[in-house]
Structures are given as C-alpha cells and as structure tokens.
C-alpha cells in the first residue's frame, strides 16, 4: 500500500502501474489518462459521497469499479447544515469576531429562532432526510422538492412535497441536498433567487456547482435575500477574488460538512470493505457503476454467483458464439431486482468469448457492443423447484437454484441433475448402459485426474443420459478424445466453473 498527497496528474500516473486499487478524496481527479496508466486497476474508491472528480464512464468502459461511501458521513453533513443555519440566523461568527475585537454590542446581533420557520429541502435523500428529522426537533415546518421522492416518503419525514417554485417562494430556509447533474447544475441562479423571500436564507452542503455564487453575491449585496451559508464551492479552494467572500450576511466553511472523526472512520471502513470485496471477486455494495447486489436476506450474493456460473456453463457448452441469451426468473426471484442477475449472467457468458476484462461493471455494455440480445421472462409456475433461474443460449439451457442456501446447477439440456458450481466438469451425453461409468472413472484414475462428485441424469432406464463428473483437475485433451471414442458416447464436453484457466483445485 502506498499513501501520497497532492500529486498532479503527471506524477499520479507514474506510480499507478501494477496498482489494483486506488482510493481518493475529493481533490484527486481520476481521469481517463489516469485510468490508462493503471491497466491492472480493478477498483477506484472515493472516501466520501461525491464522485464528480472521477471519470465514471471511462472507468466503466475499462471494467473498473467505482465505489463510494454514501452513508459514512451523512450524519455529519446533516448536522453541519443545521449548524450553518444556526450560525447564520444567530450571527455567531460575526458576534465571535466582535467580542474578540473587544466590542460588546449586543444590539447588533439580534437573531431569529428556528421554531416555526419553514424549512425548504431541495432533495430528501440520505442527507436531506436526516436534516428533516433533526429540523423537526427544532419545531420547524418542512416542505421538500425531490422529483424522485414519493408522497409516502415525504410524509414519513414530516414533510410536504411541493414544486420548486413554490418551495422558493415559501421557505424561510432553503437547504440544498441534491447530487450534481446537468439538471441541478446552476439550479439556484438569479431567477431562482428572485423568487425567494427577502427574509429567506440559503444553505448549501451538497455540491458547489448547484449555486451560481456570483448571482448569490449580487442578491446578498442588494438585500434581495437575508443571508447565505455555504460549505461547498464550484472552485475549491475558493479563489481570493471570489465575490462571495465579500458578500454581507454570509457564513463560509471550507468543505468540512463531512469532516468529523466519526465520519472519517465510517467512510474509511465502508470504502475498504468494498475494495476488499472487489479484489476478492465479490460485488461491491455501493458501486456507482455496477448493479447493487440483492439483499443477503434472500440469498442475494448466492443468486448473483449462480447467475454467473450458469452463463459461463452455457457458453462453454455452445458450439459457436451466441447472438442472444434468454433469462427466466421464477418463484422468489420474481421479488428481486433482476439487474444484478442479468449483468452477472452476461459476465459469465461473455468471459468465454472476450479477451477484455468482463465484470458486473461493463458486462451489459460489452453485450450491447457485440450485438448480444438479452431477453427476460418471468414465470409464475416452475418444475420441481419453488425457485429457478434459467439461462438459455442457442440450443443450450441450464437452470439453477439454492439448496439450503447454496447455489446448485439442477438442469442441463433436458436432464435434471444436482451439480456444484465450482470445479472442472466433464460431461458426456451417452446411451445408458452398464459399465460406462466404470470405464470413464478408470481412465481418469490412470491419468491422475481425481473425481470429486458424479451425477447421472437420464430420461428413462437404458435411454439417453447425461453424466457430469466434477473433477479436481482438468481433463487432458487426449483423455477426452479417448472417452469420446467409447461405444454409446455421443458427445463429450469439458467446462470450468470458478476455476482460473490452467488452475487445479487444492
């Protein structure tokens, strides 16, 4: 592990060769050039919430996870927003400066109470919702504007959803808690400020670009609004000639809303846990460019792993590259978000045909680039098992389920089986006759290939059958060809599930 601070892009790129993970704060910009300098990079961790300093599309195209810690500092940010409101309405910074200058002019610092004031929250996500709950303790009235929130969510916070113009015209305190998007960039501009009451104040602990600070400085200088408290700025550090520095009735802090000891610990732990998950081949909980894994309460991680292995097995049983894949969900899977299952199955399928890195980050993008059509079906009724995940590619169909919480392959091309999802597999389609299993086992033993499990599925006695052997070692090509020459053996295939190319299980 290497820790560095304040590196320009040229120096950062020079030290990234061979790096598997990169952790940054808000000042370090992770550009396409930086990513190109780290071909082994698997994950970029942002120790915080905002990821606008990371080129997420470039990372996605390269199959690099981008993870953040959206919950680690939310309490700190919510508390800081209310601290700014109190500091502004009670003129605390100015009063402190006055007394340090040996003045005692109490009449200059007549303040306002929060009780009874109308708080207008623009955004009631993770931070905004916490601000709402804390503001209720001050007996404030709360209105909110959030295109993605429901009436039920707002009611649960004691807030009423309103249109943005209504919020601006009504609120005594306007507090911003929105991500930076093209829709929110410059959201509070001269026009928005003109709609606010002259007695209103605006607080921003979200992203600096959400407010046009020059328009805000102008409104403050003209007395169009009563005050502003800002923790974030479009350009940081704040330039010496920034007009907002000289604007009256302001409280400015240097992007410290998330800077508490507790938050820093929470953020560090959250990001490191996700980085370790990625490095260990598990999906990251808060990846911003990959599907969020289903809850472990419903076996989420196991279903994602099963989907990948089903896709991989289907690909290895095909004769040619596929142009379409169909996924079918039944039983308890109908209640899950299919996105991570879809991406995982595509990952398993594409890894057999693609030379580039394929993971949950870029699997669907690569599928689109290769013209792979991904279709999905939801089935209320299923065979044999209450819940089944099916992957069908060309003429190959495989199904899986969880047995006592563990993923198993239970169906391959018309045969019901019970196969683990780890190991080297040898599959034979043959005519069910006595002696074949023994001959295959003897041949493998003579070539030092160890069998860990065996399954035979058949349609009826002495009819068409499928034998699946799970092996600790790969089958040499010559041995596979010899098995294929046995009488009554119609087809022999091998596959690897969860085993790197050339590796044996130990």
Q: What is the DSSP letter of 362?
A: T
Count, in order, helices (H) and strands (E) of the chain.
17, 20
- The catalytically annotated residue of 27, 221, 236, 406 is 236
> SS in 3 state form for 416-434?
EEEECCCEEEEEEEEECCC
Q: Calculate helix-pair angle for 74-89, 261-279, nearest 10 degrees.
A: 150
How far, in Å, CA of 425 to CA of 484, rounded?
A: 15
Work out whether the CA dihedral 454, 458, 462, 463 comes out positive or negative.
negative
- The catalytically annotated residue of 80, 207, 305, 392 is 207
Q: 12 Cβ partners below 8 Å, 6+ apart?
A: 4, 28, 34, 37
φ, ψ of residue 191 in degrees (nearest 5):
-65, -45
In 3D space, the residue among 142, 140, 115, 141 whose CA is nearest the CA of residue 128 turns out to be 142
Instruction: Reply yes or no on whether 339 is catalytic.
Output: no
Q: 343 Cβ partners below 8 Å, 6+ apart?
A: 290, 291, 360, 363, 364
| Alpha-carbon torsion angle 191, 197, 202, 208, nearest 10 | 0
Q: What is the DSSP letter of 133?
A: H
CB-based contact 157:180 (threshold 8 Å): no
CB-based contact 309:491 (threshold 8 Å): no
Task: Scan for tokens 């683990």, then name that residue.
Answer: 420
How far, in Å, CA of 164 to CA of 132, rounded?
A: 17
CB-based contact 314:306 (threshold 8 Å): no
- The catalytically annotated residue of 255, 309, 342, 496 is 255
Instruction: Reply yes or no on whether 431 is catalytic.
Output: no
Q: E strands along 95-194, which residues?
A: 118-122, 141-145, 160-161, 173-176
Instruction: Reply yes or no on whether 207 is catalytic.
Output: yes
How far, in Å, CA of 420 to CA of 158, rounded?
A: 50
**What residues are labeled active site?**
207, 236, 255
């Amino acid at each position: 592990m290497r820790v560095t601070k304040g590196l320009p892009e040229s120096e950062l790129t020079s030290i990234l060769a061979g790096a598997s993970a990169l952790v940054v704060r808000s000042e370090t910009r992770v550009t396409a050039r930086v990513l190109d300098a780290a071909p082994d990079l698997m994950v970029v961790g942002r120790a915080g919430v905002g990821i606008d300093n990371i080129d997420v599309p470039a990372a996605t195209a390269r199959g690099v996870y981008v993870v953040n810690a959206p919950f680690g500092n939310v309490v700190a940010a919510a508390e800081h927003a209310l601290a700014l409101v109190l500091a502004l309405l009670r003129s605390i910074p100015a009063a402190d400066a006055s007394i340090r200058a040996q003045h005692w002019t109490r009449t200059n610092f007549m303040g306002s109470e929060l009780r009874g004031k109308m708080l207008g929250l623009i955004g009631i996500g993770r931070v905004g919702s916490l601000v709402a709950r804390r503001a209720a303790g001050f007996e404030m009235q709360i209105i909110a504007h959030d295109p993605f929130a429901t009436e039920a969510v707002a009611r649960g916070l004691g807030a009423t959803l309103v249109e943005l113009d209504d919020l601006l015209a009504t609120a005594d305190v306007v507090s911003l808690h929105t991500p930076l998007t093209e829709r929110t960039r410059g959201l509070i501009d001269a026009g928005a400020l003109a709609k606010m009451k002259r007695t209103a104040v605006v607080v921003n602990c979200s992203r600096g670009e959400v407010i046009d600070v020059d328009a805000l400085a102008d409104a403050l200088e003209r007395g169009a609004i009563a005050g502003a408290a800002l923790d974030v700025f479009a350009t940081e550090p704040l330039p010496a000639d920034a007009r907002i520095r000289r604007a009256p009735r302001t409280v400015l802090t240097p992007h410290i809303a998330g800077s508490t000891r507790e938050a820093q610990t929470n953020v560090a732990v959250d990001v490191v846990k996700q980085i370790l998950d990625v490095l260990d081949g598990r999906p990251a909980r808060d990846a911003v460019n990959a599907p969020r894994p289903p809850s472990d309460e419903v076996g989420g991680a196991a279903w994602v792993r099963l989907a990948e292995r089903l896709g991989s097995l289907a690909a290895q049983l095909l004769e040619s590259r596929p142009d379409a894949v169909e996924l079918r969900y039944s039983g308890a899977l109908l209640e899950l978000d299919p996105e991570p299952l879809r991406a995982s199955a595509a990952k398993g399928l594409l890894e057999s045909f693609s030379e580039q890195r394929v993971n949950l980050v870029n699997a669907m993008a690569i599928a689109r680039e290769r013209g792979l059509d991904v279709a999905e079906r939801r089935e209320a009724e299923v065979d044999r098992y209450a819940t089944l995940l099916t992957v069908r590619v060309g003429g190959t169909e495989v199904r899986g389920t969880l047995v006592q919480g563990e993923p198993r392959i239970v169906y391959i091309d018309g045969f019901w089986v019970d196969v683990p999802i780890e190991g080297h597999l040898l599959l034979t389609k043959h005519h069910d006759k006595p002696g074949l299993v023994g001959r295959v086992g003897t041949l493998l033993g003579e070539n030092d290939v160890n069998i860990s499990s065996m399954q035979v599925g058949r349609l009826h006695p002495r009819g068409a059958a499928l034998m699946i052997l799970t092996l600790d070692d790969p089958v040499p090509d010559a041995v596979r060809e010899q098995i294929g020459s046995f009488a009554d053996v119609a087809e022999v295939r091998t596959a690897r599930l969860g085993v790197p190319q050339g590796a044996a299980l130990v």
